[in-house]
């Protein structure tokens, strides 16, 4: 009896979970990665001959663990530390199936541990929990593979030196630790979202990875968490517009000018359902409010049908959670849409008088747009030029140059 076994498919679905468990059992990233490779090698040898085991994941975990102990035992002839580890490993209880689901969570929390340098958290998360290759991460972040590789090596050394615990944080620490995880996921998403269209063809789909991580957290966390669901909803709603955000030439299309038929209805439905659930809660969190704003855009049949009054109210709420100048700027844009350019402009002047966002290109671009609509051409020209001087992204530069020409 011979059965076709698709090891590649098993690698795609199981390798990250098996790795997460092996890291717990072997208490070392490198040893776990080695054991993972050995386990899949054994599977490639045995499964086509003997058939696929009933529980491939458990089989791979125990094969990887056995191989690691075997290697330690052989090394033990030269190495006292290895000898001790081998004895310890053998004394350990076999893996309980209940803990395995939590291993993926443990892995995410250790990759995004506050003691891991912030620039390494993204690389660690994408490589260890999403299974991206170092070279793919480097291409996605327009960095050199050697730079990303060194970050990962340093992060693993730090985890080892500080003996960072491989665990889901206790309830009293959960909010703070989760915050670092969500920040990392949102940075991954934004990197993918900001990628210009042409370049993104070569880049790993970071937005999809970030959404996958968000879904994983929602599914694995013991209690539904409003921040996690808010972030997932926000990412889904932003991602739903990806096909409409750029035109055939790769130029940016503003939300008011986008072809709404290109918006992904399934993602909008999922995002809006999450938002409705969040709105039913007594308290809205920052990501939840941002998701609710994105939902207002997503459900509007046309730009004119957008409920700007509701959006301004949501920005008022958001200001209470996050009184940053960027939130103030977005609120000013919404006020301009609700009450006219004059009202929006005076809100923006208030931000400028505080001396905030002078180097932020979107403030200049938003001001320029309102000045243009008021017919204050010379001031609009100056503001577009200021925005252009601060922009390095080709698609944005083309957009601003186009606006300048039209004045």
Partner 1 sequence: MLYVCLVHFDDKQVFSRLSETEKRELDIASTGYDRELAASGNLIRAQALQAPESAVLVRVRDGKISATDGPFLETKEQLGGFILIEARDLNDAIRIAGGIPLARHGTIEVRPIYQVPQHENAAS
**Contacts to partner 1 by CB under 8 A:** 30, 33-34, 37-38, 41, 71, 74, 78, 127, 133-136, 145-146, 148-149, 152-153
For partner 1, the closer of residues 41 and 194 by Cβ is: 41
- Residue pair 278/292 in contact (Cβ under 8 Å)? The answer is yes
Q: Which two tokens stand for residue 321?
A: 């959670």
Tell me the C-alpha to C-alpha distance, in Å, between residue 100 and each of 53, 58, 220.
18, 9, 11
Please answer whether residues 103 and 20 qualify as being in contact, where contact means their C-beta atoms are separated by less than 8 angstroms.
yes
Planar angle of CA 208, 210, 166, nearest 5 degrees: 135
**Comparison of 153 and 394: residue with beta carbon closer to partner 1:** 153
> 273 near 238, Cβ under 8 Å?
no
Measured from the CB of residue 151, what is the shortest distance to partner 1 in angstroms?
10
**DSSP characters for 126-143?**
IIIIT---HHHHHHHTT-
Task: Give me the least distance between CB of 38 and partner 1, in Å please.
Answer: 6
CB nearer partner 1, residue 92 or residue 146 = 146
Is 75 or 338 the residue whose CB approaches partner 1 more closely? 75
Residue 185 makes CB contacts below 8 A (sequence gap 6+) with: 125, 210, 213, 214, 217, 231, 235
Q: What is the DSSP string of 1-52?
A: ------HHHHHHHHHHHHHHHHHHHHS-HHHHHHHHHHHHHHHHHHHHHH--
Indicate the residue among 130 and 235 with the shorter CB distance to partner 1. Answer: 130
CB 123 → partner 1: shortest distance, Å? 9
Provide, rounded to whole angstroms, the least separation between the CB of residue 257 and partner 1. Answer: 41
- Three-class SS of residue 252? strand
Smallest separation, CB 273 to partner 1 (Å):
37
Q: Report in angstroms the alpha-carbon separations of 228 from 23, 114, 115, 218, 314.
A: 25, 18, 22, 6, 19
The CB-of-145 to partner 1 minimum distance in angstroms stands at 5
Helix (H, G, I), strand (E, B) or coil at 246: strand
Residue for token pair 């609009």: 380
Smallest gap from Cβ 191 to partner 1, in A, equals 19
Quick one: 156 or 241, whose CB is closer to partner 1?
Answer: 156
Nearer to partner 1, 34 or 251 (CB): 34
């Amino acid at each position: 009896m011979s059965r076709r076994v698709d090891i590649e498919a098993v690698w795609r679905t199981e390798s990250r979970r098996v790795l997460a468990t092996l890291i717990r059992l072997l208490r070392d990233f490198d040893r776990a990665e080695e054991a993972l490779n050995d386990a899949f090698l054994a599977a490639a040898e045995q499964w086509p001959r003997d058939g696929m085991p009933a529980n491939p994941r458990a089989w791979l975990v125990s094969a990887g663990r056995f191989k690691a102990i075997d290697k330690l035992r052989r090394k033990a002839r030269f190495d006292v530390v290895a000898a001790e580890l081998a004895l310890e490993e053998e004394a350990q209880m076999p893996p309980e199936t209940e803990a395995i689901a939590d291993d993926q969570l443990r892995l995410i929390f250790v990759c995004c541990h506050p003691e891991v340098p912030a620039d390494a958290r993204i690389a660690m998360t994408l490589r260890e929990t999403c299974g991206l290759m170092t070279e793919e991460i480097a291409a996605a972040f327009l960095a050199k593979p050697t730079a990303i590789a060194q970050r990962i090596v340093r992060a693993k050394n730090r985890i080892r030196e500080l003996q960072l615990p491989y665990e889901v944080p206790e309830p009293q620490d959960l909010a703070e630790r989760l915050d670092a995880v969500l920040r990392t996921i949102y940075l991954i998403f934004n990197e993918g979202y900001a990628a210009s269209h042409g370049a993104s063809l070569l880049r790993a789909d970071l937005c999809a990875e970030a959404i996958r991580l968000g879904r994983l957290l929602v599914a694995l966390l013991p209690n539904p968490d409003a921040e996690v669901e808010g972030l997932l909803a926000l990412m889904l709603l932003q991602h739903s517009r990806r096909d409409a955000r750029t035109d055939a030439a790769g130029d940016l299309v503003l939300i008011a000018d986008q072809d709404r038929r290109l918006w992904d209805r399934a993602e909008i439905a999922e995002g809006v359902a999450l938002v409705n659930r969040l709105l039913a809660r007594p308290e809205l969190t920052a990501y939840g409010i941002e998701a609710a704003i994105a939902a207002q855009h997503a459900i509007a049949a046309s730009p004119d049908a957008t409920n700007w009054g509701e959006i301004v109210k949501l920005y008022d709420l958001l200001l209470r959670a996050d009184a940053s100048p960027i939130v103030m700027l977005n609120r000013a844009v919404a006020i301009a849409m609700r009450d006219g350019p004059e009202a929006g402009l005076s809100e923006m002047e208030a931000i400028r008088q505080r001396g905030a966002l002078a180097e932020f290109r979107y403030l200049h671009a938003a001001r320029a747009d309102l000045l243009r609509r008021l017919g204050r051409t010379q001031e609009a020209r100056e503001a577009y030029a200021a925005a252009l001087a601060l922009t390095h992204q080709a698609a944005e530069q083309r957009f601003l140059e186009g606006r300048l020409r039209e004045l």
